[in-house]
Chain A
């Protein structure tokens, strides 16, 4: 009886519900061999959260994984994972993309088929460097 209760309580506390806040995607490159990924998360107890600085290092992580190239096709997923009765929840930011080495990026000037339009963007990826 005691064992069953412990098991039931453990299952209840460890089971989580996930919900997505937002998703964003940048243009997908033709070369998709080298995948880069970063995940930043923070556990929040009873809603007491005093800063969101945990996301600040996400870009630096991606830069470290692709030191001489461009990270494209970046899918940023912002999600909440709620544990039992919302006592504890986890804010999680996951960014996955592809590292395109600089030499390849400069050769592939022609826009590939199936790549999303980048018109009007001010980011350096679309600017002639």
Chain B
């Protein structure tokens, strides 16, 4: 019993990471500037409706299972189209990325900017992540 609980906990808490997209910007190295690394991570919860319906069906009778299927199918109809990861319900969660870059690097002199779009998959839910790493150029002695 204890082993089963441990196994199910590990399976539930372990996440699989899925990489969707990587983009690297221009890289500048200058001896008169110091490069200060920074990284920004923005995440939003995605929901896999199919998995949610499958999980809900475990606790339902036959009628409930049919209804769960119908609801999942109806929602899926509104979520068609190309996408990366699971749908999220806050559509502009990555809107303030540029502002966050300016907060990390007030001079705006940014180089080696790498943007990564990835998903951390858990049962039913997922973390839809946008990660930015880069270097802020700071003038030596400035």
Interface residues of A (CB under 8 A from B): 21-22, 24, 26-27, 47-52, 55-56, 58-59, 62-63, 66-72, 74, 76, 78, 91, 93, 95, 97, 102, 122-125, 127, 129
- In the assembled complex, the Cα of A31 lies from the Cα of B101 at a distance in Å of 30
- Among A52, A63, A68, A93, the residue within 8 A (CB) of B112 is A63
Chain B: number of interface residues, binned into ranges: 20 to 34
- In the assembled complex, the Cα of A124 lies from the Cα of B20 at a distance in Å of 26
B17 within 8 A of A: yes
10 closest A-B pairs (Cβ-Cβ)?
A: A71-B27, A59-B112, A125-B26, A24-B23, A124-B111, A52-B19, A124-B109, A70-B28, A76-B24, A22-B21
The answer on a CB contact under 8 Å between B29 and A49 is no
**Given A50-B16, A58-B114, A127-B109, A68–B24 Cβ distance below 8 Å?**
no
Q: Main SS of chain B's interface residues?
A: strand
Q: Which of B14, B29, B33, B98 has the most CB of A within 10 A?
A: B29
Q: Which of B4-40 contact A (CB under 8 A)?
A: 14-31, 33
Q: A62 to chain B: which residues have CB within 8 Å?
A: 24, 27, 112
- In the assembled complex, the Cα of A127 lies from the Cα of B102 at a distance in Å of 14
B72 within 8 A of A: no
